[in-house]
Amino acid sequence: QVQLVESGGGLVQAGGSLRLSCAASFRTSSTYAMGWFRQAPGKEREFVATITWNSGGTVYADSVKGRFTISKDGAGKTVYLQMNSLKPEDTAVYYCAAAASWPLREPENYLYWGQGTQVTVSS
């Protein structure tokens, strides 16, 4: 059964940090990359960051560049999102997803999705 399970969300004050994890149960080599997206109440799902499995290349949304870091483990089963200098506008449900095609900023190119983890940043 294909599964992506996120963890690490929670409540943090502005300026604080959180580290999200995403564990994959399937053969990740069948996908190009892993990405993180987020969705705030009343807003569309937006791209946050992505990392390719083979080269480890990364791409970030401008809104998180310099504050968030996406990484992966050596086994190719877990992806992380280190979030520093958090702002109230980062509050959202964060989803990890596995990409089946390009371009990687587009959610429709992601084949598998996790259930999401809530991140709340208080001011």
| Each residue's pLDDT tens digit, 65-98 | 999 999 999 888 899 999 999 999 999 999 999 9
Predicted confidence (pLDDT) at residue 29 exceeds the cutoff of 90? no
In this predicted model, what pLDDT tens digit does every residue of 14-27 receive, in sequence order? Answer: 999 999 999 998 88
Of 43, 59, 40, 41, nearest to 106 (Cα)? 59
Question: Cα-flanking dihedrals φ and ψ of residue 55, to 5°?
Answer: -100, -15
